[in-house]
Amino acid sequence: MSSILRIENLYVSYKIPLGHLRYGYRKIWAVKGVDMDVPHGIALGIVGGSGSGKSTILKAILGFVKPERGRILFRGFDIAKLKGRERRVISREISYVPQEPSQSINPKMRVYDVVAEPLKPLKLSVDEVEHRVYSVLEVLDLDPSIRNMFAKELSGGMLQRIAIARAIITRPSLVLLDEPTSNLDISIQAQILNMLIDLKQKLNLTYIFVSHDIDVVSYVANRIAVMASGRILEEGNVDKVLTEPLHPYTSMLLEPSKAPEEMKLLDDELCPIRSWCPWRQEICSKLYPPKTMIGDRYVYCWRYSKH
């Protein structure tokens, strides 16, 4: 399967002001040396705790933050180097569904205008815009009468459907979903997840799905990447990772109650593996490369995060 997106050795940092009494900035690394290969047509789930760097990866793909090192290649094009028309074409191919649709949708707009808004730069005819809006409402099983409602009149689940409609109206090939169901009731959550699975099939989409909830991610994803402290600790086929986790942090996510206390401390200075490496079943040594392929799976040695 050919890759639609490739991330190579990505580093992203943010500058935090030192405070009103001190001049200057402190740099924090949100993403550290991430490599990722996203084949066309898959759903890649990124799971990890709060602050692990999941959303920053999405922001870097969307061009909202600049990588400090590394490259992001979409269909072979380096996203950071795109300009003008090429940039506009690629940005239509990548769309985004945020965690909280109410923050990106104007509550005073009618549903029709909300869904049609991303088409504005395409300068399509009125008929074509109308056709596209009705088509996406139909694909999402939404009654066409919803078009005249105001966004503020919609429930959370309905608003998230509209956010998805808006994300697919430009006919993208890659959809980035940032915790799209985390603010919804459990029953609505299931409906949206099923709808996303169905949509991916119908429109031949590729997903990158971010969540802190491993159950939600594994429901939608074929592959899964486990993140902590800005690094991908383990990446592989979802069933394999869930049934035979190689990294102790993945085991902790799957069964938090069984985790040794020290694993809960997500501090780069503290290697939870110490000297015994559970996947190699031997004493860890600096001679091993930090990123290792085991079968078709990729595992990061936590011990190396110190170096």
Ligand X SMILES: Nc1ncnc2c1ncn2[C@@H]1O[C@H](COP(=O)(O)OP(=O)(O)OP(=O)(O)O)[C@@H](O)[C@H]1O
Among 46-54, 121-129, 145-153, 280-288, which window interacts with ligand X (CB under 6 A)?
Answer: 46-54
Q: How far is the CB of 235 from ligand X (least distance, A)?
A: 16
For 97, half-sphere exposure in the C-beta direction (CA atoms, 13 angstrom radius) is 29
Kind and range of the H or E element at 251? helix 248-254
Q: Is 14 in the site for ligand X (CB under 6 A)?
A: yes
Which of residues 16 and 122 has its CB atom nearest to ligand X in the complex?
16
User: Which CB sits closer to ligand X, 55 or 251?
Assistant: 55
Look up residue 145 and give its two tokens.
């009468």
Cβ contact 134:91 at 8 Å: no
What is the footprint of ligand X within residues 200-219 (CB under 6 A)? 212
Looking at the DSSP assignment, which residues form a beta bridge with residue 301?
A: none
How many residues of this chain interact with ligand X, rule: CB under 6 A? 13
Nearer to ligand X, 14 or 276 (CB): 14
Q: Which residues contact 8 (CB under 8 A, 6 or more apart)?
A: 35, 70, 71, 72, 73
H-helix or E-strand spanning residue 4: strand 3-17
Least gap, CB of 51 to ligand X (angstroms): 4
DSSP state of 262: G
- Radius of gyration of the CA atoms of the chain, in A: 21
Q: Which of 33, 55, 168, 241 binds ligand X (CB under 6 A)?
A: 55
Q: Does residue 48 touch ligand X according to CB under 6 A?
A: yes
Q: Does 51 bind ligand X (CB under 6 A)?
A: yes
Closer CB to ligand X, residue 73 or residue 266?
266
Residue 103 within binding range of ligand X, rule CB under 6 A: no
Give the length of the chain: 307
Closest CA to 60 of 99, 10, 95: 10
Least distance CB 252 / ligand X (angstroms): 16
Provide the binding-site residues for ligand X, judged by CB under 6 A.
14, 16, 28, 30, 48, 50-56, 212
